[in-house]
Structure 1
Amino acid sequence: MKMIFYVEDPENSAVYENVSTARSNPASKKHQGEQRTAAPASTGVKVYKVISVIVGIICILLVVYIVVQHLGLNDNGSTRDTLKNLTEERDDLKRTLLVVEAANKNLTGQRDELMQRMNDFDSQRRSLTEERDSMKALLMNLKVELGWVLFKCSTYYVSSEKKTWQASRDDCRQRGADLIIINSEEEQSFANQFKVYMWIGLTDLQTEGTWRWVDGTPLSTSYWGTNEPNGARGENCGDIKSFNAKNSWNDEKCANSLNWICEKKVCQ
């Protein structure tokens, strides 16, 4: 019998040992099968996680989009309300402006009217001042003229001598006056207080029966005595013949001689 001897290599022996162990150990084979099966399962879990992350991101983006849209809608509504309020305020301001312009126009008119009144008052004041100064000067002159009496806006002179009606009037004219023209009951009473029969500036020489004052104005209010004027014997000139203030006038012959009363206007 021939015998063969083998020299055992340590590395190869280990391989052989492992191979033989694997062949001889069924449990090891089962474990290796489980490892091969576990590899595909691990890959599926990773894909699921990726999908979950993507879906989560999409959900987050969707929520963000919804929130942004909601805020945008609210912002648009707020903008519309603001625009509406501003429009209403603008319209109110326009109406207020119209009212202010109308009031300003009215005030301008009132101002112009007041200025015109002030100008008128100033003109009247100057006129009255001039008239006052003129009256003062006249009164100073009248103080020198003996026999003149001031009553309202006229001064009066009663003669101490007697003349015809025309001569009496001429004397008054020389004094810058004329025979008295009686325009009121007050002036009539004033003339009667002298208790003198005297000529007045009344005549119907131009037209018989139509009595006029020396300035040409027709007689309107009269103070004739009873049954006067009677027009007897060419009595065409008027005089004061009694001292009843309401019934003192008489028609007299113009050629007769009487005292007379002159009147000079000193104001209007």
Structure 2
Amino acid sequence: MSTTNAACEGMYSKLIDDSPYDDLNHRPDVGPSAHPVSPVRVIPRPSGPGIYRLATICLATLCAILLISIIAVAAQNKNKSQGGGEETSEIQKQTQDKNVSALVASISKLQEEKKQLQKEKDELQEKLAAKSATKAPEVIKLTTKATPAISCPVDWYLFNSSCYYVSRVTRDWAESKSYCESQGGHLAIILTAEEQTFVWGLLPRGHWNAFWIGISDEQTEDHWKWVDGTSLVGGFWEVGEPNNHINEDCGYIVKTRVMERVAIRSWYDAPCSMNWRYICEKEVGPGTSTAMPH
């Protein structure tokens, strides 16, 4: 700074020394022989280093102020630029969140619609099977002079050419099988959805109302057979059944208070030693009407 001040002072002094006003006292036409000239008032020049230092300080201050202003403007522009970028990113994020939320909502709606359609499908299948089941006895009961009507014993219910009995007592699977055989029948053999729906309609609802039917895989695991020795084809198992959880070799039907349960998915497997109620079936011919004990 002192070097700069000295340079400025030297330059200023040189400018003053070269000033044309200094020639007033040395003009060639001014002398003792020349015409007298009115004296010129000479304004004293400022002298001393103080004035130059002041000027230097002022210039330096102005430069500093200008530099600070430039830095402040640049920083403000940068902040605005960054702020604009952050705002744009935030808007994009909000838009993406909205799109994801809309997509999730659409998926949930489709899942609900699928569930509702499945429920309606099951209900329609039940109604169709029930309609077929109710119509069949009416056709069988049509009589002519050559063909007498088919009837079932008390507490037995007719479907097609079979009568079905639902017990009020519990027995294990082998005892249930023996009882049905003692009544001239067998544990129920269910081959069609219509027959399954008819039998399901005979069963009362309860917490866990279970009824043995004539199916087991005691002889060969996972090879289910009916009591007449024929192999099972298809069936009406609940999802995940049969699972042979604890040596479960005999099949049964469950009907609970849960209204979502349907006839065509109601079979389970269980240990044959458990005591359940049971369903007997007896094929009958024209004119059959024999009372049987409960």
* TM-score with structure 1 setting the length: 0.47
Flag the structure with higher helix content.
Answer: 1
Larger Rg: 1
State the TM-score, normalized to the length of structure 2. 0.43
